[in-house]
Amino acid sequence: MKVLVPVKRVVDYNVKVRVKSDGSGVDIANVKMSMNPFDEIALEEAMRLKEAGKVTEVVAVSCGVTQCQETLRTGMAIGADRGILVETTAELEPLAVAKLLKALADKEQPQLIILGKQAIDDDSNQTGQMLAALLGWPQATFASKVVLEDGKVTVTREVDGGLETLALTLPAIITTDLRLNEPRYVTLPNIMKAKKKPLDTVKPEDLGVDVAARLKTLKVVEPAKRSAGIKVPDVATLVAKLRTEAKVI
pLDDT tens digit string along 165-184? 999 999 999 999 998 999 99
Pairing of strands 82-87, 152-159: unpaired
Residue 242 falls within a domain, yes or no? no
3-state secondary structure at position 64: strand
Evaluate if residue 22 carries a pLDDT over 90.
no
pTM for the predicted model, two decimal places: 0.84
Q: What is the pLDDT of residue 223?
A: 83
What's the total number of domains in the chain?
1
Does residue 249 fall inside a structural domain? no
Q: Which CATH number characterizes residue 120's domain?
A: 3.40.50.620
Provide the total of helices (H) and of strands (E) in the chain, helices listed first.
6, 13
Q: Give a yes or no: residue 148 inside a domain.
A: yes
DSSP string across 119-164: -TTT----HHHHHHHHHT--EEEEEEEEEEETTEEEEEEEETTEEE
Per the structure, the complete domain to which residue 122 belongs is given by 2-224
Q: Judge whether 115 and 42 are in contact, CB under 8 Å.
A: yes
247 assigned to some structural domain:
no
- 120 belongs to a structural domain: yes
Q: Which residues pair with 2 in a beta bridge?
A: 57
pLDDT score recorded for residue 29? 83
* Among candidate residues 130, 156, 162, the one with its CA nearest the CA of residue 143: 156
